[in-house]
Structure 1
Amino acid sequence: MNRYEIIIYWSDEDESFVAEVPELPGCAADGSTYYEALSNIEVIITEWIETAKESGRPIPQPKGRLIYA
């Protein structure tokens, strides 16, 4: 189970739910339902981490909930 913050929102432009992981640049997925987007992003997080390991890129440690001013 990952511990990265996941932000899920409805996109009128894409006509789907979009899930993003702010701590992992470019890590995003979509789905026709909230739960589909959540399921898809879990797969993408794993793939993002595997790709970073293979290419020697640093993998950010999960910070948990982000705080905005």
Structure 2
Amino acid sequence: MKYTVILHRTEEGISVSVPGLPGCWSEGDTDAEAIENIQDAIQEYLAAVKEMSRGQEVREVDIAA
């Protein structure tokens, strides 16, 4: 899966957000570290969503690009 991420550069480092996953943020001192950290954050976010939707009626839909 691919997700669009936005890098926010400050004097303290780089924070990264995922517009498609509200509240999914991470950070790092370098681009590489920030990207690696957001990959972990995305996996944790998706695991939490899966857990919260357990027992619910869930469906997947295809969206044309």
TM-score normalised by length of structure 2 = 0.77
Q: Aligned equivalents of 1:31 and 1:43: distance in 2?
A: 12
Q: Hey, what does 1:11 align to over in structure 2?
A: 10
Of 20, 42, 47 in structure 2, the residue corresponding to residue 23 of structure 1 is: 20
The residue type paired with residue 30 of structure 2 is T
Q: Aligned equivalents of 1:34 and 1:46: distance in 2?
A: 19
Q: Hey, what does 2:29 align to over in structure 1?
A: 32
Which of the pair has the greater relative contact order for Cα pairs under 8 Å at 6+ separation? Answer: 1
Instruction: Report the count of equivalent residues.
Output: 57
List runs of 5+ in structure 1 lacking aligned partners.
Answer: 64-69
Give structure 1 regions of 4+ aligned residues with deviation exceeding 3 angstroms. none
Larger Rg: 2
TM-score normalised by length of structure 1 = 0.72
